[in-house]
Structure 1
Amino acid sequence: MSLPNSPQGSAAASRQSWQDQLSGGRTAWSSTVTVQGQNIAARYWYDGQYINNAKEDAAEVAVKLLNQQPRTSTVFPGQLYVQQQPAGYGRGTGGL
């Protein structure tokens, strides 16, 4: 007795690949983003129909990583001193 995907089985064209043998046909996907030459990977793997979630996950990891890095103050030509922002002012507070 020969198995369908054994060399003694039917013609090579009818052989199943290991991908065809997966039950349910599911594939998991993840994503990475590259920021200043550094690859940052998403935390989780997602079903193919939710690939956009993998992209958003990688972007969220990148934003958190970048916000943890120390920031250097920006100095402009002609600037006399570094302007300090009052408490409560900054990113995401609605400001001006």
Structure 2
Amino acid sequence: MSSTSSASSYTSGPSWQERLEEACRDAQIMPPTFQIVSDRRGGRTAWSSQVTIRGQMFAARYWYDGKNLNNAKEDAAECALNWLSRAAW
């Protein structure tokens, strides 16, 4: 098996960010807007993310190393999607 086929066989479906964007389209609301935030901690910087939908801001639950910024966005998107799926329209 080549590395290309093994890599493509491991797919987990759409990301939390993609799922949130789709949910916003389905609900006919503006797409989510993400913001990256940082916090200086000693000699290092911790990174996180916030996402806003319908004027409601959702923060990622955790702080991440700078090389994992996408994880921070995924975390915030998951929180927002969970809220959106429970929200009564």
**TM-score scaled by length of structure 2:** 0.50
Larger relative strand fraction: 2
Q: What is the number of residues matched between the two proteins?
A: 49
Residue in 1 that maps onto 2:64: 46
Query: AA paired with 1:56?
Result: E
The structure whose Rg is larger is 1
Following superposition of structure 1 onto structure 2, how do residues 3-82 of structure 1 map, counting pairs within 5 Å? 22=43, 26-71=44-89
Residue in 2 that maps onto 1:85: none
Q: Percent identity?
A: 59
Query: AA paired with 1:68?
Result: R
Which stretches in structure 1 are left out of the alignment for 5+ residues?
A: 1-18, 72-96
CA RMSD of aligned residues (A): 1.7
Q: How far is 1:36 from its partner?
A: 0.8
Tell me which of the two structures has the higher relative contact order, counting C-alpha pairs closer than 8 angstroms and 6 or more residues apart.
Answer: 2
Residue in 2 that maps onto 1:10: none
